[in-house]
């Protein structure tokens, strides 16, 4: 099960396609309703359906479902539908996240902090709580939380997001410690600069704030990356496939940077 998989150049969709290649039956989910993605009006569930259809065309099994991770009622409804269609969740990928409300620390409002908390931290916690009892009864499972370099350090302008992504890595370790004896493995994958729509939008915002062209911002930002470029969603999906598959059977409680070699900041 992948939470937050609708965006065409998003990390969640890349994970869905990659796990399907390894034979996983995939439930790809996202918020219902319309969104502006890469400047165009899109219906997220239609985008999810396209990803699920692509997997089925390649011989895999996949379904697309709406899910708002901030609603425990919606989580229960979604998990019941997945169980009925594909069976219980054996691998949970908490990929839903949002930079919304990222702002200068002093001007980030309590409402923005709370909104960031609900989507970036509480939602992943509630999803994990919902799938763990079933994983325990079946002898194990994998939970992979998509963090960020913001799980490891900080740069200016992303206070709420950074706090929540640190929290995500923190509760991942708690799950690893508490449920390791039940065969449940939990890790955080920490992407750096990944060339998704979300990242492109953040570049535009930062360039505007700093009063410089986007190209100059990109040159400055990637100067700190050893590989001197942003990564691709598929690079993150490979790390998730490793942690979800047999090769990752003795790896739990880690935060794995997929950053091209970048300092996570302070
Ligand atoms: P994205 O915006 O394409 O993906 C996030 C998805 O989460 C979206 O499809 C969005 O609709 C969904 N979402 C938001 N609120 C939700 C909710 N309440 N319920 C369900 N789904 C919800 O961006 P992305 O870049 O693919 O990001 C995927 C993950 O990777 C995020 O957790 C993000 O924080 C993390 N990340 C991205 C980058 C990057 O450079 N792109 C870097 C570090 C971390």
Q: What is the pLDDT of residues 18-41, one digit of tens each?
A: 999 999 999 999 999 998 876 788
152 pLDDT band, cuts 50/70/90, is very high
Report pLDDT for 194: 95
Which two three-digit tokens encode residue 25?
């039956």
Q: Per-residue DSSP letters for 64-84?
A: EEE--TT-HHHHHHHHHHHHH
In this prediction, residue 263 carries a pLDDT of 85
pLDDT on residue 264: 83
| pLDDT grade for 201, boundaries at 50, 70 and 90 | confident
Is the confidence at residue 182, as pLDDT, over 90?
Answer: yes
**Domain spanning 2-194+231-255: which CATH class is it, in words?**
alpha beta
Confidence of residue 216 (pLDDT cuts 50, 70, 90): very high
Atom number in ligand 1 closest to CA 5: 9
Cα 23 to ligand 1 centroid, rounded to whole Å: 24
Q: Residue 265: its pLDDT value, please?
A: 86
Q: Which of 9-18, 95-104, 196-205 has the lowest mean pLDDT?
A: 196-205
Query: What mean pLDDT is predicted for residues 160-186?
Result: 98
DSSP β-ladder status, 40-43 and 184-191 = unpaired
CB 11 near ligand 1, within 6 Å:
yes
- Residue 202 has a pLDDT of 82
Q: What's the rounded mean pLDDT across residues 228-257?
A: 97
Q: How far is the CA of 4 from the centre of ligand 1 (A)?
A: 6
Output the average pLDDT for the chain: 96
Query: How far apart, in whole angstroms, are the C-alpha atoms of residue 162 and residue 206?
Result: 16
pLDDT surpasses 90 at 124: yes
Q: Is there a catalytic annotation at residue 161?
A: yes
pLDDT of residue 150: 96
How does pLDDT run across 100-119, given as a tens digit for each residue?
888 899 999 999 999 999 99
- Nearest atom in ligand 1 to the alpha carbon of residue 70 is 18
Which residue is closest in CA terms to ligand 1's atom 10?
4
Q: Which atom of ligand 1 is nearest to the CA of 69?
A: 19
- Region 165-188: mean pLDDT is 98
| Ligand 1 mean position, distance from CA 48 (Å) | 14
Residue nearest to atom 2 of ligand 1 (CA): 198
* pLDDT given at position 37: 78
- The pLDDT of residue 165: 98
Asked whether the predicted pLDDT for residue 198 surpasses 80, the reply is no
Statement: residue 58 has pLDDT above 80: yes
- In whole angstroms, give the CA distance from residue 252 to residue 212: 42
Catalytic residue among 161, 222, 242, 250: 161
Burial group, residue 240, by CB count within 10 angstroms (0-12, 13-18, 19+): buried
pLDDT of res. 255: 98
Q: Region 167-178: what's the mean pLDDT?
A: 98
- Any ligand 1 atom below 6 A from CB of 93: no
CB of 10 sitting under 6 A from ligand 1: yes
In short, whether 248's Cβ falls inside 6 Å of ligand 1 is: no
pTM of the model: 0.96
Average pLDDT of the segment spanning 141-166: 97
Query: What whole-number distance in Å separates Cα of residue 77 and Cα of residue 80?
Result: 5
Nearest CA to ligand 1 atom 33: 97
* CB-CB contact of 70 with 119 (8 Å): yes
């Amino acid at each position: 099960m992948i939470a937050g998989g609708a965006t065409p150049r998003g990390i969640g969709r890349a994970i869905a396609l990659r796990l399907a290649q390894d034979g996983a039956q995939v439930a790809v989910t996202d918020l219902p309703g319309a969104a502006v993605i890469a400047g165009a009006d899109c219906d997220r569930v239609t985008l999810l359906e396209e990803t699920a259809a692509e997997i089925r065309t390649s011989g895999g099994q996949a379904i697309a479902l709406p899910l708002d991770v901030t609603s425990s009622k919606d989580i229960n409804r979604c998990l019941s539908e997945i169980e009925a269609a594909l069976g219980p969740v054996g691998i949970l990928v908490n990929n839903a996240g949002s930079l919304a409300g990222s702002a200068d620390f002093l001007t980030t409002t309590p409402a923005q902090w709370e909104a960031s908390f609900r989507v970036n931290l509480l939602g992943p916690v509630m999803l994990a709580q919902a799938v763990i009892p079933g994983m325990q009864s079946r002898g194990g499972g994998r939970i992979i939380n998509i963090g960020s370099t913001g799980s490891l350090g900080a740069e200016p302008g992303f206070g709420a997001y950074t706090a929540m992504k640190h929290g995500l890595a923190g509760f991942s370790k708690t799950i690893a410690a508490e449920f390791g004896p039940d065969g449940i493995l939990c890790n955080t994958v920490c992407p750096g600069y990944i060339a998704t729509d979300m990242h492109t939008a953040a570049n535009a915002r930062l360039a505007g704030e700093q009063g410089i062209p986007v190209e100059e911002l990109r040159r400055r930002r990637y100067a700190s990356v050893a590989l001197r470029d942003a990564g691709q969603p598929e690079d993150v999906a490979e790390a998730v496939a490793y942690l979800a598959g047999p090769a990752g059977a003795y790896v739990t409680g880690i935060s794995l940077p997929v950053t091209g070699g970048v300092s996570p900041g302070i």
